[in-house]
Amino acid sequence: MLAPEHRISALDQLDSKGIMHYLHIADVAKTLEKQDEEMQMWRQTKSRNGKMVPFEDYPRYAEVDEYLEKIAADYSDIVTLVNAGSSYENRPIKYLKLSSQITLHKSKPIYFMDAMIHAREWVTTPVALYTIHRLVENLRDQDRDLLHDIDWIILPLVNPDGYEYSHTDFRLWRRTRSIGSALNSTCIGVDANRNFDVEFNTVGVGLPCSDTFPGSEPFSEPETAIIRDVMAEHDGRIQLYMNIHSHGNWILYGFGNRTLPSNAVHLHHVAASMGAAMDALKLPAAGFYKVGNSALILYQTSGSAQDYGQAVGIPFSYTLELPGYGWAFQVPPQFIEHINAETWEGIAVTARLARSYYRQRDNFLRGSSIATDVRS
């Protein structure tokens, strides 16, 4: 993005150096304003035609919170609401535990899903909320096994401060909203998805004011410490971790430094199955899902949630990048319903495969790629 007064000189520079370029959006501010207006109109029409549900919308923090509280109250036999701690700006970060028994049962694997670690990736929270909806409010006969055999931990708003800021002030905000890091007195927040204690601050990171600033130290952000603590609390039982982002149709796994986990073939198998299930329902405007090691097919990173999950022993740890349909982070709300439905199919596939691997975990040792019974 360029300020209008820099337009001519920047274009001259590109031309003089022979750098190919094209104009994607002529006026970003005007485009964002227009999208705001369209969203207001869409909300009005939708509420006129019936009840607005938070998973078919871009709900604010308070609306997400209200939904989680309501689900926990209405379905207290299977749902536990956990207040995991507070964000930098003191917003409670909550998640739901879903279990066919009120306490998590040790013989079952856990599926851990979170969304909105990056504030501007608005379409991720509806997907997490819709997953709750399909497992609780609208559990269908063909999906009863998913709740019966698997316990779920679903955290729909990892970075509520950044998310609220992206609604109130700056639509394309990505980072947290912490102030006063030793390295960073001028710019606010860090990239939470570079802030985990795995190869911290090595590759794919930026300066304090960049969108990939990893923070002054691992887990400097309360938001990432909460994810770390969920993983530690359920050590050995989380079979699959899905860190949901937007956009670009990617399913990625570790490690961000181009090395592969020892169970990479199985990581790939489960991810490819997920991609295939979602592609079978895809809209023409979406790309086909691309599946692979995040560093080899996208770019190198360090300190990511995906790598941390893998490193602490979760056998299947993924980054999911939902479709953008050419709108990047500003997916029009009309697409939410489709993304929810299509992603749910992918999630169900991964949950069932994770269950199979969990049942045979003595053969598929955590982190091991070769099962003893297939070594012939």
Nearer to Zn ion, 118 or 266 (CB): 118
Count of residues touching Zn ion (by CB under 5 A): 2
Per the residue annotation, which of 199, 221, 223, 321 is the catalytic one? 321
CA pair distance 213, 27, nearest whole angstrom: 27
CA pair distance 44, 342, nearest whole angstrom: 25
Please give the radius of gyration of the chain, using alpha carbons only, rounded to the nearest integer.
21
Nearer to Zn ion, 295 or 353 (CB): 295
From residue 230 to residue 269, the character string flagging contacts with Zn ion as x (rule: CB under 5 A) and all else as - is: ---------------x------------------------
To the nearest whole angstrom, how small is the minimum distance from the Cβ of residue 275 to Zn ion?
A: 18
To the nearest whole angstrom, how small is the minimum distance from the Cβ of residue 121 to Zn ion?
A: 5
To the nearest whole angstrom, how small is the minimum distance from the Cβ of residue 38 to Zn ion?
A: 23
* Touching Zn ion, residues 71-130 (CB under 5 A): 118
CA pair distance 122, 116, nearest whole angstrom: 7
* Touching Zn ion, residues 214-233 (CB under 5 A): none
CA pair distance 17, 156, nearest whole angstrom: 45
Query: Is 175 among the residues that bind Zn ion (CB under 5 A)?
Result: no
To the nearest whole angstrom, how small is the minimum distance from the Cβ of residue 192 to Zn ion?
A: 9
Mapped onto helix, strand or coil, the DSSP state of residue 215 is: coil
Cβ–Cβ < 8 Å for 197, 303: yes
Nearer to Zn ion, 109 or 126 (CB): 126
Nearer to Zn ion, 55 or 173 (CB): 173
What are the backbone angles phi and psi of residue 355, rounded to the nearest 5°? -60, -45
Is 321 a catalytic site residue?
yes
Nearer to Zn ion, 228 or 245 (CB): 245
To the nearest whole angstrom, how small is the minimum distance from the Cβ of residue 363 to Zn ion?
A: 34
Nearest CA to 312 out of 246, 229, 376, 243 is that of 229
**DSSP run (H or E) holding 195:** none
For the chain, where are the alpha helices, taking DSSP H only?
A: 7-16, 28-48, 61-74, 124-135, 144-149, 160-168, 222-233, 264-279, 294-297, 305-311, 336-359
Catalytic residues: 321
Interface with Zn ion (CB under 5 A): 118, 245
